[in-house]
Structure 1
Amino acid sequence: MTDQMIDQTPDAPDFNMNSEVASGPSLSYWQLVRKRFQGNRTGMIGMIICCVIVFTAMFAPFLAPYTPATKDRTAIYTPPQLVRFISEDGGLTRPFVLGFAEEMNPVTYEITFKPSHEQRVDLGLFVQGEDYKFLGMTFSTHLFGGVDGAPVHFLGTDGLGRDVFSRMLYGSRITLLMGLIVMGAACVIGTFVGVTSGYMGGRTDTIIQRVIEFVKSFPDLPLYLALVAVLPRRADPMLTFIMFAAIVVVLKWADLARELRGKVIAIRSVEFVRAAVAVGANDRRIIGRHIIPNMSSHIIVWATYVLPEVILLESFLSFLGVGIQQPMVSWGVMLNAVRDFQSLASAPWLLAPVGMIILSVLAFNALGDGLRDAMDPYAND
């Protein structure tokens, strides 16, 4: 009687079933990661901003009205020009900016700038300007600028009459390139060393860990300054850039190697790795097909966190004058021009790269947080 009652009892719903599996066909790990990430609003906003920043860096010559070295001797320390859509009589008109008339205070002898309707400059799309090279070809079309080549400076100019907006766009290329090179090289070296240390064990692990401890025993900032000071001051700017990136890589790979070493020690003892060893799989196959794929999520998240760190480090050292050197342009190099209070007081718009640094750091951190939550199977929805 009891068996009949049990057989007639309807199947109880499985409350432990994953909602994604219950609603349709099973999804792969990366499909689940994508679905969870798309539901993270902060992560999606961070990814969109990161894509915009990267797009801006890639197409900076087309988006910038001028090259970073272009000088306007008639516009020294001029304030930003506001884009206007309302004419002097109150009606709507095509976008334009106003030039400035200089006025001197008879008491303090301070020069001030006042917008002048007599110096109106109409704006246009796809205007012709200075030549630039992109993908090996020469172009002269810019996305926007003054009609008939009239000068416009949306974020003002510096002490040499160079357009701050154009230099900031070009500076994003060097700053992001530095971050990507350091991130990629540190990921490769840290992954190789960490996996080797954790998988081989024994004397190899001991030697590698002592090297990592030696690298991490130095305080970061004094070591950065000491190593950068060794760089030749009159060396080629590109050589200085490469050596600076190499120094940062040397001091960044150790953190990832230490983290991955612990994960490899945990992964190599699980059942599927032992089964691969039992069937005779060689070390290269075990590492490439089982160990590294199971650590890929950690490597990706680590990369999204180290990139904003490198951006801040490059900007800080270049601001101090020991990082990227002229004539290369980065956000830190631009901030180097406002190290004294006099320049900052007379031209506060030169701090515009600070906004880009903050925006990029917040965006990449938001992207990293979103990826971490999406790749963590125990994260709360």
Structure 2
Amino acid sequence: MTDQPSPSFGMNAEAASGPSLSYWQLVRRRFLGNRYGMTGAIVCVLIVFSAIFAPFLAPNDPAAKDRDAIYSPPQLIKVIGQDGLTWPFVLGFEEVMDPNTFEITFEPSFDKVTPLKLFVEGDPYRVLGMEFSTHLFGGAESTPVHLLGTDGLGRDVFSRMLYGSRITLLMGFMVMAAACVIGTVVGVTSGYLGGRVDTVIQRLIEFVKSFPDLPLYLALVAILPRRADPMVTFIMFAGIVVLLQWANLARELRGKVIAIRSVEFVRSAVAVGASDKRIILRHIIPNMSSHIIVWATYVLPEVILLESFLSFLGVGIQQPLVSWGVMLNAVRDFQSLASAPWLLAPVGMIILSVLAFNALGDGLRDAMDPYAND
């Protein structure tokens, strides 16, 4: 029989060779070596970056209406004109009516060429209380540019999509953070104290989980006041989502706490007289941090999908706030979809963000187990 190399007390070759590394150093090394996870992380950073700097990246104000470009098709960026290679530009459209069906279509015209410029002056916006008017790009001579077309009111879809990412991601991060805090506190309390406290908390979790998610969401959202301030409605909507998201994490952490509190280092801390607060903060929660982080990366795309779905139905975020779901609400009927299919552009952002955050979660899940075999 061929001799097999010993596992070196559970450590793989990656950890055994070279200087001793801490747990988080091993996590970082494995995550940086995970191409799938790194790709997801880069895309996530770009999405968050575009949301933060949306006023600068967007060429138009999301509420600005171009009366001359209602349901205008996307203007593709071109670099080859009639005279060959040239500076990037976009083409305007001319309305053409079919003499038989009387259907109006838009045809690109080289008579309406709009060169693109960088760092142009446009619609003003405010950042940290200061007003700016410089945008990353725009049309020469303040000519409107609609890279993804316009909606039924002449509003730029590309600009609204960038602004919409702010509300959608803000909803996702708010719900994720609140659910993590509530779920961690409840789960750790239930698992560590046990006894009657554990029984009461578990019955509460079972009560919350006994309701079907979608009908309960629709019922709770239906009671939101329609005449309230849109930001108040946004906060109340986020609270409803948090109400039904924390239970899963609390139940998962409760099981982990029960397992961790019986290990030797926790029993040793109890034997030397360490307080419950110190044991929880210094021993139990740090050993569950990897699970909490991975759970957070998975719940974020779920919240994005939920917000987009409910807002698409018209029971979520309300205008004048702009989110991806609110934008999709404009194409609920087949007539709008047939005449302006580019209004589905937010679907691409939803799919991209969900795939990116799931890839990030998969990469973190693998990296959080630094002693696992590749």
Q: Which deviations, in whole Å up to 9, do the C-alpha atoms of 1:317-356 show, x marking residues without a partner?
A: 0000000000000000000000000000000000000000
* 1:73 aligned residue (48, 57, 67): 67
Structure-1 residue corresponding to 2:248? 255
- Matches of 2:95 and 2:199 in 1, distance apart? 69
- Matches of 1:201 and 1:53 in 2, distance apart? 42
* 1:180 aligned residue (173, 180, 189): 173
Number of equivalenced pairs? 369
Structure-1 residue corresponding to 2:201? 208
Q: How much does 1:147 deviate? A: 1.1
- Matches of 2:15 and 2:146 in 1, distance apart? 56
The 1:143/1:182 distance shift into structure 2, 3 A limit, reads: same
Structure-2 residue corresponding to 1:246? 239
- Matches of 2:324 and 2:99 in 1, distance apart? 37
* 2:185 aligned residue (192, 195, 201): 192
- Matches of 1:151 and 1:66 in 2, distance apart? 8
- Matches of 1:220 and 1:22 in 2, distance apart? 47
Q: Which deviations, in whole Å up to 9, do the C-alpha atoms of 1:101-156 show, x marking residues without a partner?
A: 00011111110000111110000000000110012111000000101101110000
* Identical residues among aligned pairs (%): 81
- Matches of 1:51 and 1:377 in 2, distance apart? 24
Q: Which deviations, in whole Å up to 9, do the C-alpha atoms of 1:158-210 show, x marking residues without a partner?
A: 00000000000000000000000000000000000000000000000000000
Question: What TM-score comes out, normalization by structure 1 length?
Answer: 0.95
- Matches of 2:234 and 2:154 in 1, distance apart? 26
- Matches of 1:41 and 1:264 in 2, distance apart? 32
Contact 2:191–2:254 (8 Å) recurs in 1: yes
Structure-1 residue corresponding to 2:143? 150
Q: How much does 1:380 deviate? A: 3.2
Superposed CA RMSD in Å reads 1.2
Contact 1:307–1:364 (8 Å) recurs in 2: yes
AA paired with 2:81?
Answer: S
Q: Which deviations, in whole Å up to 9, do the C-alpha atoms of 1:198-227 show, x marking residues without a partner?
A: 000000000000000000000000000000
- Matches of 2:101 and 2:19 in 1, distance apart? 76
- Matches of 1:321 and 1:106 in 2, distance apart? 38
Runs of 4+ aligned residues of structure 1 deviating over 3 Å after TM superposition are 12-18, 377-380
Q: Which deviations, in whole Å up to 9, do the C-alpha atoms of 1:35-78 show, x marking residues without a partner?
A: 01111110000000000000000000000001110000000000
- Secondary structure of the residue aligned to 1:139 is strand
Are 1:342 and 2:318 an aligned pair? no
Are 1:265 and 2:240 an aligned pair? no
AA paired with 1:46?
Answer: G
- Matches of 2:181 and 2:61 in 1, distance apart? 35
Are 1:41 and 2:20 an aligned pair? no
- Secondary structure of the residue aligned to 1:103 is strand
- Secondary structure of the residue aligned to 2:327 is helix
- Secondary structure of the residue aligned to 1:141 is strand
The 1:269/1:98 distance shift into structure 2, 3 A limit, reads: same
Pairs within 5 Å for 1:301-380? 301-377=294-370, 379-380=372-373
User: Any unmatched runs of 5+ in structure 2?
Assistant: none
Q: Which deviations, in whole Å up to 9, do the C-alpha atoms of 1:218-274 show, x marking residues without a partner?
A: 000000000000001111100000000000000000000000000000000000000
Are 1:62 and 2:56 an aligned pair? yes
Q: How much does 1:15 deviate? A: 5.7
* 2:86 aligned residue (82, 88, 93): 93
Are 1:278 and 2:241 an aligned pair? no
- Matches of 1:321 and 1:312 in 2, distance apart? 14
Q: How much does 1:376 deviate? A: 2.0
Structure-2 residue corresponding to 1:300? 293
- Secondary structure of the residue aligned to 2:101 is coil
* 1:136 aligned residue (101, 116, 129): 129
- Secondary structure of the residue aligned to 2:92 is strand
- Matches of 1:28 and 1:137 in 2, distance apart? 44
- Secondary structure of the residue aligned to 1:327 is coil
Contact 1:20–1:27 (8 Å) recurs in 2: no
- Matches of 1:260 and 1:108 in 2, distance apart? 63
- Matches of 2:95 and 2:5 in 1, distance apart? 79
Contact 1:175–1:330 (8 Å) recurs in 2: yes
Question: What TM-score comes out, normalization by structure 2 length?
Answer: 0.97
- Secondary structure of the residue aligned to 2:248 is helix
The 1:306/1:105 distance shift into structure 2, 3 A limit, reads: same
Contact 2:15–2:371 (8 Å) recurs in 1: no
AA paired with 1:175?
Answer: T
> Which structure has the larger Rg over C-alpha atoms?
1
- Secondary structure of the residue aligned to 1:115 is strand
Contact 1:20–1:26 (8 Å) recurs in 2: no
Structure-1 residue corresponding to 2:13? 19
Contact 1:154–1:165 (8 Å) recurs in 2: yes
- Secondary structure of the residue aligned to 2:146 is coil
- Matches of 1:126 and 1:255 in 2, distance apart? 47
